[in-house]
Chain A
Amino acid sequence: MIRPLLGFAAGALFAAGLAISGMTQPSKVIGFLDLFGDWDPALALVMGGAVGVHLLSYRLIMRRSSPLLSTHFDLPVLKALDGRLLAGTAVFGIGWGLAGYCPGPALVSLGSGRTAPLLVAAGMIAGVALFEAIAKGAFGRRPLPSLD
């Protein structure tokens, strides 16, 4: 019971942070990416605030041998700057810049009942599902090694 409750609380805090910081407003995201237009630096401050807090706590937390509610840390292990990273993040950036939503804000914004995040989130879930199917070997492709 405690694990799902705390997981829910962490998600709630994340959502509140996204909303308060303005990241659930696509105009603010696009304003940040609009380098040659009316530039809105807010997203840089959001990232700065987030990394500022998390970078310090990461170092403290990783002194532990294990997390509090799991048996071991399960962190990304890939290090290579390979084609998958560059192609994937490049494509992600196009989608992000196009609508002004990334996954977190899209999910949080579903509660507003607006059509835009609903359509974006639907596309995201489909895009994730398409990737997972290809990675598993659908469409005759070799299964990809798991990233996670």
Chain B
Amino acid sequence: MLSALIGGAMIGLSASLCLLLFGRIAGISGIMGALVRREGDRSFTASFVAGLLVTGVILALLRPELFEASVLRSPVALVIAGLLAGFGARLGGGCTSGHGVCGISRLSVRSIAGTLTFMVTGAITVFVVQHLLGGSL
């Protein structure tokens, strides 16, 4: 539980740095959108994503157990999950970082509503897959 709080605080600190330094929110789906469109502040977006990727490589070497992925999903299910998450985040204007962390911190009613919405559909999806479909897809 302590690691959850500490990790969360680090995420919040990173978001605050993005705001203080670059004046932008740390919304990963928005950053992905800007990179795909080849627009926006590339010295922020590209370097931020580089930081995500490189740190992932280093941490995976040092602490592989942090990336344990035991959930049973077929390749098709994983790609579809990504398609839905990527498209939906762009349509809805954010994801767990954009709406959940940054939007709620800004007391944005829009983000609070958005976060509640994806929490509800996320929970329904898990219920269906884990309890109605046997836990693998």
Which residues of A does B touch, CB under 8 Å? 3-27, 30, 33-37, 41-43, 45-55, 57-58, 61-62, 64, 66-70, 72-76, 78-81, 84-104, 106-117, 119-132, 135-136, 147-148
B79 touches A15 (CB 8 A): no
The secondary-structure label for the interface of chain B is helix
A21 touches B47 (CB 8 A): no
Q: Is B134 an interface residue (CB 8 A)?
A: no
Inter-chain contacts of A7 with B (CB < 8 A):
21-22, 43-48, 50-51
A69 to B124, CA, bound (A): 42
Known: A30-B71, A47-B8, A49-B5. A90 touches B117 (CB 8 A): yes
**Which of B41, B85, B106 is the one whose CB lies under 8 Å from A96?**
B85
Inter-chain contacts of A136 with B (CB < 8 A):
37
**Which of B25, B59, B126 is the one whose CB lies under 8 Å from A76?**
B25
**Which of B16, B30, B43, B77 is the one whose CB lies under 8 Å from A99?**
B77
B88 touches A95 (CB 8 A): yes
Given contacts A73-B19, A84-B92, 19 further A-B contacts (CB under 8 A): A3-B43, A4-B43, A10-B18, A10-B51, A14-B11, A23-B7, A33-B123, A37-B131, A55-B105, A87-B91, A88-B90, A93-B88, A108-B55, A111-B53, A111-B57, A111-B67, A112-B67, A127-B84, A130-B86
The secondary-structure label for the interface of chain A is helix
A88 touches B88 (CB 8 A): yes
Closest to A115 in B: B75
**Which of B9, B70, B121, B124 is the one whose CB lies under 8 Å from A49?**
B9
B81 touches A120 (CB 8 A): yes
**Which of A17, A47, A64, A90 is the one whose CB lies under 8 Å from B100?**
A47
Closest to B61 in A: A111
Closest to A79 in B: B110
A26 touches B71 (CB 8 A): yes
Closest to A98 in B: B81
